[in-house]
Structures are given as structure tokens and as C-alpha cells.
Amino acid sequence: MKDIIKQMDKAFDSRVRIAIMSILMVSKDWVDFNSLKERLGVTDGNLASHTASLERRQYIEVRKRFIGKRPNTSYRVTPLGKEGFTNYVNALKQLLQIKQ
Amino acid sequence: MKDIIKQMDKAFDSRVRIAIMSILMVSKDWVDFNSLKERLGVTDGNLASHTASLERRQYIEVRKRFIGKRPNTSYRVTPLGKEGFTNYVNALKQLLQIKQ
């Protein structure tokens, strides 16, 4: 079990970050901040802090631009993020299936 | 997705706490501190802090006694812990299966 835990990056130890990654993993395009916020039902500050921590680990990347006169921020998963999250989920599944 | 996240108690947002709960959920008897520590590969302080937080939420209960002259601490899951963790895991599974 030690080895399973070691494969899991603590950066994903959060139901909100797991939900963000789950959305980005299956999205073929950038997903914008407001759409993430609505789907997750979290505040601006809460979402910003979770995306910032995933960005620091280079698991997601951010795109900031203007659509007309409105600033628009969106995210997508990086190859490193895909790998890290896949390892996390696989390890999680093993944890949840353990027998004494 | 908001509703799924709401079913998940933040108290389980930790791979170590998920591992502790997974072990206790399938154990028919009390599991002692040292055996948990070895299986998880964590330090005394780390394990003590995770078990304390699960205990505060009344998800696990602790038994402290002496075996001969040695103090022995062990844990088991409570009915509330079974319910909360089952909800968490079911919600987690839904999160991980989402489609855009």
C-alpha cells in the first residue's frame, strides 16, 4: 500500500481539484473560468486558488485573453497533468479495492 | 456536478485518510496504530494527525489500552464513518466518470 500512496501526488488531494481535472481531462477544448465555476458550484476565490495550485504543478495551463472588451480566462490539461492524474486515479482505485 | 461535490466531506480529501478508511472499512476488528503506520508508510506524527481529524468528525473511534506493560492504540470505523466514506467514494466514482 505504501507504493500505491507514493504514486499519488498530494496536489490532487481535493474533491474540487479532482472535479476540475475530470472536466479538463475529457474536454477537447479550453474550458473557461465561469463555466468551471458554475459546474463546480464554487466561489471565484475558491476556484482561483485550486486552479493556481494545479498550474504551479504544471498540471493545467491557463490562457488569458479578451473576447470583445471582456477578459476571458480558460484552462486545459497538460500532458504532465494527464499523466499525473491518471496515476492518481489508478492508485485511488487500487486503494479502494484493497482487502485485509 | 455541484450536487456530487456536496455529498463529499472534505474530511476525506487526503490520500492517507482515504487509505486509512479503506483499511478500516474492510477490517472486522480494531486495527492498531503500528500496523496502520507500517502499511501506509507514514510517520507517527503524520498518522496521528490524520487519525485525530477522522476521530474529531466521529468517523473512526479509538481504543487505548495496555497489552502487558506496553500502551496500545487501535482504531475502528464508526457507523457514521461507514456512511460518510461510502457517500464520498460513490460521489468520487461519479466525478471520475463524467462526460462533457
Query: Quick one: pLDDT band at residue B8, thresholds 50, 70, 90?
Result: very high
Residues of A in contact with B41 (CB under 8 A): 1-2, 5-6
Domain contains B31? yes
Number of domains in chain A: 1
- In terms of residue numbers, what domain contains A9? 2-96
A86: domain CATH number?
Answer: 1.10.10.10
Of the partner residues B5, B22, B89, the one whose CB lies closest to the CB of residue A16: B5
* Residue B99 in this model has a pLDDT that exceeds 80: no
For residue B98, the model assigns a pLDDT of: 57
Chain A CB contacts of B13 under 8 Å are 13-15
Provide, rounded to the nearest whole percent, the portion of chain A with pLDDT above 70: 97
pLDDT at A98: 57
Rounded CA separation A21/A85 (Å): 7
Of B1, B15, B98, the CB nearest to A26: B98
Which pLDDT belongs to residue B1? Answer: 87
B11-to-A43, B29, B53 alpha-carbon distances in Å = 20, 23, 7
Residue B61 lies in a domain: yes
B98 located within any domain: no
Per-residue pLDDT, B13: 95
**Which residues of A are less than 8 Å from B95 in CB distance?**
15, 18-19, 22
Percent of chain B predicted with pLDDT > 90? 91
If you average pLDDT over residues A14-31, what whole number do you get?
Answer: 95
